[in-house]
Amino acid sequence: MSAPVEGAEAGVVSLDAECVTCNKRAYLNERVSVDGNVYHKKCFRCSAPECGKLLTPGTYAAMSGTFFCKNCFKHLFKLKGNYDEGFGKEQHKMKWQKNVGSPSTTTDA
């Protein structure tokens, strides 16, 4: 018979976890666990600069490890119509356009 698995593999919640945002101890009754990280309920907020709304596990949307309220997430997507430029990243098509004129793509016969 094998020994029981302990820790994160078994889904056991640590009693002395630190909040990812403020690095302070987060007790069981004042924390929320999202995507494997622990946050104080007061620290789990929308990352949009003009918002900062408190989030819950049912009211957030994530993009590359950044959390947004669902309203801000929709607004940022609609702003540019894509997930890259709307969230402040370079569009993939710009990366492709840079590589089109590179000499390594041409061949001599």
Tens digits of per-residue pLDDT, 63-107? 878 899 999 888 887 766 665 555 556 655 666 666 655 555 555
CB-based contact 70:61 (threshold 8 Å): yes
Half-sphere exposure of 91 (CA within 13 A, CB side): 9
> Quick check: is 8 in a domain?
no
Both 38 and 19 in a single domain? yes
Q: If we measure between CA atoms, which residue out of 55, 95, 91, 90 comes closest to residue 73? A: 55
Report how far residue 77's alpha carbon sits from residue 91's, in angstroms, rounded to the nearest whole number. 13
For residue 90, what is the enclosing H or E element?
Answer: none
Burial class for 91, CB neighbours closer than 10 Å (0-12, 13-18, 19+):
middle
Confidence band for 16, pLDDT divided at 50, 70 and 90: confident
Count of domains observed in the chain: 2
> Quick check: is 6 in a domain?
no
Both 59 and 32 in a single domain? no
Both 36 and 63 in a single domain? no
> Quick check: is 1 in a domain?
no
Domain span including residue 30: 14-44
Q: What is the mean pLDDT of residues 24-32?
A: 92
Both 30 and 52 in a single domain? no
pLDDT at 1 exceeding the cut of 60:
no
